[in-house]
A and B are shown apart, each in its own frame.
Chain A
């Protein structure tokens, strides 16, 4: 089974690098990182990820706008998106993801094990369709 491709979009270099090293270290993922919100669409078209981790608060363009651009794209619209946000507390999410409508949120700072669990859950939901 081929490694799942994950696109990580966050303006913090440390975060994208950290996620990439942790996920790739597990050997099951191929990760591409993007630090400029504006370039997300290009990167996604090029990389064709199975899931996108998207920071909510970024300069220039916030995660919500990026997500709606992705949803408007015929090719990319079905890729699951998990938002990373500093605006909700861990207490609020109960330490896990928070699902609000079609949106899935993870509260920063998220530990790698939670991140992996969340990715797995949404990849699996994706695969039958």
Chain B
């Protein structure tokens, strides 16, 4: 709040004429009383002379009141009284000079006495008025002082308030900082909690996997061996051969799921080799060929040639792509287009001076797009969670993308999901590379 002038606007405007009057009075009052008294006596003489000259008694007589009033007001009661006495004498003298023809010789004296009395009354009244005025002034001064005190007090309170306000602001700032700290710790805690939950989940998946592995893999092996046998010496009929291939594929897929579950809970070290990610994409597409044809999915490759090599575990990356491609195929139930894109982006800062054969760092992006319905916004956050699936119960485990994410992450990469403007889902994988010159 701004501090106002202590003489508030309200009182100021009312005081303006009064204070000018006071200034004038003070100016006159600063003349010495003697001077004023002397001037008054002279004025009395001047009025007396005019009185004699004009001979117009009543009007001119009133002018005697001027020196009497002036001296009373500015020089005090005594000065006023003496000027009044002098005025009476002068008036009498002037009267005698002007009108020597009164009926009775004492009439001028009587007139002078009445005049003197009038003067005395004026002196007394003025004195009383002055005294009252002085009192009033004192009261006003006192009031003004009080007001000033009050205003000063308010100012002080206001200063204190401003100070307190500033203090409060500092405290608020500190509180905000503590709050931020708290928020951060809370987020960290939440993260840790999620990790713990994740670890617990994985452990239970692992235990479950070990439990069912034996029970499921034995029957799978029986099926697999049967299919192998029939395949080797079965009929030459094309559809039967295809059927047997499908059976063998099915067995491999089923055992793949068990393996996933087993691996999910205890990941083994990566076997990292410098790989061209394009060749892994190609081999994965090759493995998917049957499925792609069967589901009427055409493939568009937009692979950048001569990508910088990445340190990858070939089998695991194949696994990543197989999962993404399978999801895409499943999303496009009536067929569609699967687009796979790869490109490299060098870090602006990594270009070594001299260029040419110098090594560099940057990122390789792989995008997998389909023309299916895309991922609903509300599913995006949970897509990579284990067991999240929208597919029918018993059909899928919902582990696919969570494993994909884990595999990509342990390669130091990241995966994100979004939707293409045209509607299908788009998965973007990002890997860092660093090549030696």
Q: A residues touching B (Cβ–Cβ < 8 Å)?
A: 12, 14-15, 18-19, 21-22, 25, 57, 84, 86-92, 94, 108-113
Q: Which of B191-237 contact A (CB under 8 A)?
A: 210, 213-214, 216-226, 228-229, 232-233
In the complex, B263 has a CB within 8 A of chain A: yes
The 5 closest A-B pairs by CB, nearest first: A18-B225, A14-B222, A89-B259, A109-B221, A86-B217
Distance of B225 from chain A, by nearest CB (Å)? 3
| Contact call B220/A108, Cβ cutoff below 8 A | yes
| Contact call B221/A110, Cβ cutoff below 8 A | yes
The count of chain B contact residues (Cβ–Cβ below 8 Å) is 28
With A14-B221, A89-B263 given, can you name 15 additional A-B contacts, CB distance below 8 Å? Answer: A18-B224, A21-B229, A84-B221, A86-B217, A89-B258, A89-B259, A91-B263, A91-B315, A92-B268, A94-B315, A108-B218, A108-B220, A109-B255, A111-B248, A112-B232
Q: How far is the CA of A79 from the CA of B255 in the complex (A)?
A: 30
**Which of chain B's residues have a CB closer than 8 A to the CB of A109?**
217, 220-221, 223-225, 251, 255
**Which of chain B's residues have a CB closer than 8 A to the CB of A87?**
210, 213-214
**Which of chain A's residues have a CB closer than 8 A to the CB of B224?**
18, 109-111
| Contact call B210/A15, Cβ cutoff below 8 A | no
In the complex, B262 has a CB within 8 A of chain A: yes
Q: Mind listing 16 A-B residue pairs with CB under 8 Å?
A: A14-B219, A14-B222, A14-B225, A18-B228, A22-B232, A25-B233, A57-B214, A86-B214, A86-B217, A87-B213, A91-B262, A92-B259, A94-B315, A108-B255, A112-B225, A112-B229
**Nearest A residue (CB) for B218:** A12
| Contact call A15/B263, Cβ cutoff below 8 A | no
**Nearest A residue (CB) for B262:** A89
Q: How far is the CA of A91 from the CA of B257 in the complex (A)?
A: 11
Q: How far is the CA of A111 from the CA of B262 in the complex (A)?
A: 20
Distance of A88 from chain B, by nearest CB (Å)? 8
Q: B residues touching A (Cβ–Cβ < 8 Å)?
A: 210, 213-214, 216-226, 228-229, 232-233, 248, 251, 255-256, 258-259, 262-263, 268, 315
Q: How far is the CA of A88 from the CA of B214 in the complex (A)?
A: 10
**Which of chain A's residues have a CB closer than 8 A to the CB of B233?**
25
Given contact pairs A86-B213, A89-B263, A111-B248, A22 touches B225 in the complex (Cβ within 8 A): yes
Q: How far is the CA of A87 from the CA of B233 in the complex (A)?
A: 31
**Which of chain B's residues have a CB closer than 8 A to the CB of A14?**
218-219, 221-222, 225-226
**Which of chain B's residues have a CB closer than 8 A to the CB of A111?**
224, 228, 248
Q: How far is the CA of A86 from the CA of B213 in the complex (A)?
A: 6
| Contact call A18/B213, Cβ cutoff below 8 A | no
Residue of B216, B222, B225, B232 contacting most chain A CB atoms (<10 Å): B225
**Which of chain B's residues have a CB closer than 8 A to the CB of A12?**
218-219, 221-222
Q: How far is the CA of A94 from the CA of B318 in the complex (A)?
A: 13
Q: How far is the CA of A92 from the CA of B213 in the complex (A)?
A: 14
| Contact call B259/A90, Cβ cutoff below 8 A | yes
Q: How far is the CA of A18 from the CA of B268 in the complex (A)?
A: 32
Q: How far is the CA of A86 from the CA of B251 in the complex (A)?
A: 14
Distance of A116 from chain B, by nearest CB (Å)? 10
Q: How far is the CA of A14 from the CA of B225 in the complex (A)?
A: 9
| Contact call B218/A15, Cβ cutoff below 8 A | yes
| Contact call B221/A25, Cβ cutoff below 8 A | no
**Nearest A residue (CB) for B209:** A89
Distance of B230 from chain A, by nearest CB (Å)? 10
Q: How far is the CA of A87 from the CA of B301 in the complex (A)?
A: 39
| Contact call A15/B259, Cβ cutoff below 8 A | no
Residue of B217, B219, B256 contacting most chain A CB atoms (<10 Å): B217
**Which of chain B's residues have a CB closer than 8 A to the CB of A108?**
217-218, 220-221, 255
| Contact call B251/A25, Cβ cutoff below 8 A | no
**Nearest A residue (CB) for B256:** A90
| Contact call B225/A19, Cβ cutoff below 8 A | yes
